[in-house]
Chains A and B, each alone.
Chain A
């Protein structure tokens, strides 16, 4: 089995949203992804990192980590913060729900993660942080 793992840690500032998704895109390049697969993963990473910045850390600067694992054609990503956590994960994942309507959040972050990845799991404890785990099969476009 082909296996490869990476981990990055960065400050929770909005400049790093682009850094995070470009880095993950570069990591997955070895999987021979289609352009659409890369765009899908970039969108999902951007959503998870934005959530950590806005909701997890509420705009304060702390660390976000992304762990990426390639196992043959399976890409697994873990986006973790040690922020305020989510009290009701089920509610947070409902389409159009947002805890911060005053910030013009569309409430579509998890919807997009679920639309673009094969699997999305959220584990969170209030006061301890949130881990978003996402998986996607890559390069299965029959070429």
Chain B
């Protein structure tokens, strides 16, 4: 195992939207790398929106919440916004618990997560 596991960072920019494919496990280790890559791209290009795609993500902890909040603050300061899409059951649970859904729109994975019973 390499001592510095590289996150398979997959981003694409369409129009002024930066799409980030979040890795399988979003923890302190991977969140730091994604944040650095995203911030670099926002500094270089004219980006108005960041979309985090959670299709592949099965693990997320509070470091992922910190990453989303940090990008939200940055984009807000630039007059842009942040969204999360394709959140599966586990990611949805973590995002729900954190309360971040109040400030960042979150789309659940289609046919995946059931609506919260309340």
Contact = CB atoms under 8 A, between A and B. Distances in A.
A89 to B, nearest CB: 18
Task: Specify the main secondary structure of chain A where it touches its partner.
Answer: helix
- A-side interface size class: 20 to 34
Interface residues of B, number: 24
B98 A106 contact: yes
Contacts, number: 66
A108 B62 contact: yes
Contacts of B66: 103-106
Interface string B55-71: 00001111101110110
A50 B28 contact: yes
B107 interface: no
B14 interface: no
B5 interface: yes
A32 interface: no
A84 to B, nearest CB: 18
B5 A50 contact: no
Interface in B18-38: 25, 27-29, 32, 35
